[in-house]
Homo-oligomer: A and B are copies of this chain.
C-alpha cells in the first residue's frame, strides 16, 4: 500500500478516500470560517451537557460494570462521574451517555447525531495525549464534517435499509478527528479511514434498547482505535469508501461521492448542526414549544384550564399517542403528558420525563384535559394549540416552526439552559456553572483535558438522576 497521488488510470471516483484523507491532513484551523467554528463550539458545549446529563443513566451503569474489569491505565474521565478508565473505554462510555437521553444534536439532512462519536473520542484522548482546546475544536469540526459528508453520500438509502447512521458514519468521523489530533500522515490517514470502514456498524433494530446508544459509544472507541492503529503503521485499503467491495457499495444502493469530495473547505456540513431542545421524540417538540410560550402568557390561569386542543401532524399521534403513560419512558411517547408538563411546570427537559413527574396528580389531571386531532396539512415542525379556561375565555397558539428546527436554531442562551437543566441534576449547580463556562472557553484552554476534570464535582458523589 503506497501513496500514489497521480495515477491517471483511476476514475475520479477511485480517489474518494484518498482525497478526503488528504484534506483532513492539510486543513488548518485558519481554513475554518468563523461561523463554522462558532457552530463547532456550540456543538461541543451541547455535547458536554448531554454527556453529563446522561452519565447516571442505567445504560451507562451497565456498560461501566462490563468495562471496568478490562480498563487500562485510568487516564480518562467518565464525564459527570467519578470513574477513570483508559482513553478508549472513556470514549465508549461518554459516547453512550451523550446519546442515551435522545437529547443530543442532529445533522438534519442525515439524522446523524454528530458529536457523540467524535467529541467522545477526542476529549477522552486529550487526557492522555495532550492537545489544546483550539486543536480539539479544529479536530471536532473536521470529524463532524467527515461523518456528515460520508452520511450525505449514502443517505437516505443507507438509513432506510436499516443502518443506524450515527454508528456507521460516526466511526469515520472519530477516526478523522483523532487522526487529525494526533497528526497522522496522509498515508496513515487513508489507512485510518480504511480501518474505520471495516468497523462501520450499528442496526436500527436496536432502537428502544440500550444498544442504540452503544452505537455512538462504539463508533467513538473504534474510530479512535483506527487512528491509533494507523499511527502504528497498521495498513489498510486506501479506497475503503469507494471500492467495489468498500463501504458505500456494500452498505448502500446510493453512492454520491461528490457529497464527500466536492467543495471541501467551502461547503461546511459541520455548520449545519442542530440541537434538540426537548428530551423526547422530536415530533412532540412543536407542542412543547407552543405550551411553553402559552405558559408565559397565561400565568396563574394555568390552574384554571378547562381543555387543551391540539391540531398536529398525523405522525404525532402514531408515534406519541399514549393517553395514560405510567413511567418516565412512556411519558416520552405521550403528547398529552408532554403538553401538560410544559404548561404546568415549564419543562421539556429530562426532568419532565421521570416516573415521579409522569404520575403527579396535577399533571395527570391536566393531561386528561388534553385532546389531539391530526391534520394532514400540518408540517411536522408545526402545531396549533387552543386552550379554553374555566371561565370560557380562550387563547390560541400557532407554532409555524418549532425551536430546534433548522429555521429556529437554539440560541446560545437556550443551549446554556439545556446544559444547566440536565447537568445540575447529575453534578449539582456549582459544578455545572463552572463546567459550562469552561466549555465556552474551550479555545482558550492550553490543555483541553481540563474540561473532563471539571465535569466531576469535588465530592464525587453526584445526585442520582433518572
Measured CB to CB, the residues of A under 8 A from B are: 1, 59, 62-63, 65-66, 69-73, 86-89, 128, 161-164, 167, 194-195, 197-206, 209-211, 214-215, 218, 225, 228-229, 231-237, 239-240, 243-247, 249-250
Contact = CB atoms under 8 A, between A and B. Distances in A.
From A73, A200, A202, A209, residue with most partner B Cβ within 10 Å: A209
A233 B128 CA distance: 30
A203 B69 contact: no
A237 B215 CA distance: 13
A89 B66 CA distance: 15
A234 B60 CA distance: 9
A205 B240 contact: yes
With most chain B CB atoms within 10 A of its CB, the pick from A1, A211, A214 is A211
Contact of A209 (B63, B237, B245, B249): B237
Nearest to A239: B205
A229 B162 CA distance: 23
A229 B65 CA distance: 8
Contacts of A244: 162, 205
B210 A234 contact: yes
A210 B1 CA distance: 10
A62 B62 CA distance: 32
28 contacts: A62-B235, A65-B232, A66-B229, A69-B72, A69-B73, A69-B128, A71-B72, A72-B72, A72-B86, A161-B245, A161-B250, A162-B246, A162-B249, A163-B250, A164-B198, A167-B198, A194-B205, A194-B209, A195-B211, A198-B211, A199-B218, A203-B240, A203-B245, A203-B247, A205-B240, A205-B245, A210-B235, A214-B229
A359 B213 CA distance: 54
A283 to B, nearest CB: 20
A163 B200 CA distance: 12
**Top 6 nearest A-B pairs by Cβ distance?**
A162-B245, A162-B250, A66-B232, A65-B232, A211-B236, A62-B234
A205 B1 contact: no
A139 B206 CA distance: 26
A209 B1 contact: yes
Most buried by B among A63, A70, A86, A215: A70
Nearest to A171: B201
Contacts of A250: 161-163, 203, 205
B62 A86 contact: no
Contacts of A89: 70
B70 A246 contact: no
Given A70-B228, A201-B201, 20 more contacts: A1-B209, A62-B229, A62-B234, A62-B235, A63-B232, A69-B72, A70-B89, A194-B211, A195-B214, A198-B202, A199-B201, A199-B218, A203-B247, A205-B237, A205-B239, A205-B246, A206-B236, A210-B235, A211-B235, A211-B237
A311 to B, nearest CB: 32
